[in-house]
Amino acid sequence: MISSSSVLAICKDAAGVAGNIFAFGLFVSPMPTFRRIIRNQSTEQFSGLPYIYALLNCLLCMWYGTPIISSDNVLVTTVNSIGAVFQLIYIILFIVYAEKVKKLRMLGLLLAVFVLFAIVVAGSLQMIDHMMRWIFVGSLSGASLVSMFASPLFIINLVIRTKSVEFMPFYLSLSTFLMSSCFFLYGLFNYDPFIYVPNGMGTILGIVQLVLYFYYSNRSREDSREPLIVSYG
């Protein structure tokens, strides 16, 4: 007979594995942008800041998932390790094709990310009390996740203002929702508020994005079916 703790562990691992799979969709989503950058040999008007911030977020969450900081969160470490590699590749490509001013700025920001991460790692290792270490790193990674999930608020505002989903790709919104909802469940099954609270917020924002997408995409299709009235005068 399977115990309730075993069922809980299986559900947690299943949610974590699913979260890792859906996160991969997020990690590969910038590829069309970088294909364009490589093709044109220029970063044009694209900003490298989202990749810098995403790298810092991945590094902090990766460190939080290690056994040194939190218990039984290996799948958090794996997904963020993969994410950090993707973001680092994007940043290197951005630096290669950026203008000199942007290149120097991105190099400086990349160095700042590694220095900040090293400070967090060194500082947390100095904390003898494991609970204090868990709260310290968990608070930083949780705050980083919340701000990352809050970043689409600008896009949501843009969609409502323009009544168009042109700037909100469906598969990106869907991947965000699926990943955050999986890790929300993962955090609940593991009784970890530093995982389920920020991912719960991400799930809610993901639902909002999907609702807006279907509302405005359906609305635009209905408008396109209306007879065209040409005014002369």
Question: Would 231 be classed as within a structural domain?
Answer: no
Number of domains in the chain: 1
User: 215 falls in which pLDDT band (50, 70, 90)?
Assistant: confident
Q: What is the pLDDT of residue 82?
A: 95
* Within-domain flag for 228: no
pLDDT in tens, 14-42: 999 999 999 988 898 888 888 988 999 88
Q: Provide the residue range defining the domain that includes 66.
A: 4-218
pTM: 0.85
Lowest mean pLDDT among 88-102, 128-142, 156-170, 178-192: 156-170
pLDDT tens, residue by residue, 218-231 = 765 555 444 444 33
pLDDT category of residue 159 using cuts at 50, 70 and 90 = confident
Would the pLDDT of 149 be above 80? no
116-127 pLDDT, tens digit each: 999 999 999 999
The answer, yes or no, to whether residue 56 has pLDDT greater than 90, is yes
Of the chain, the percentage scoring pLDDT greater than 90 comes to 52
- pLDDT tens-digit profile of 63-120? 999 999 998 899 999 999 999 999 999 999 999 999 989 999 999 999 999 999 999 9
Assess if residue 165 is contained within a domain.
Answer: yes
Position 38 in a domain: yes
pLDDT of residue 222: 52
Mean pLDDT over each residue of the chain, to the nearest integer: 86
Whether 167 is in a domain gets the answer yes
Residue 83 forms part of a structural domain: yes
Name residue, tokens 């890790």: 183
Between CA 89 and CA 60, with CA 68 as vertex, the angle to 5 degrees is 35
Tell me, what's the pLDDT at 131? 94
Tokens of 90: 């994007």
Q: Is 229 a member of any domain?
A: no
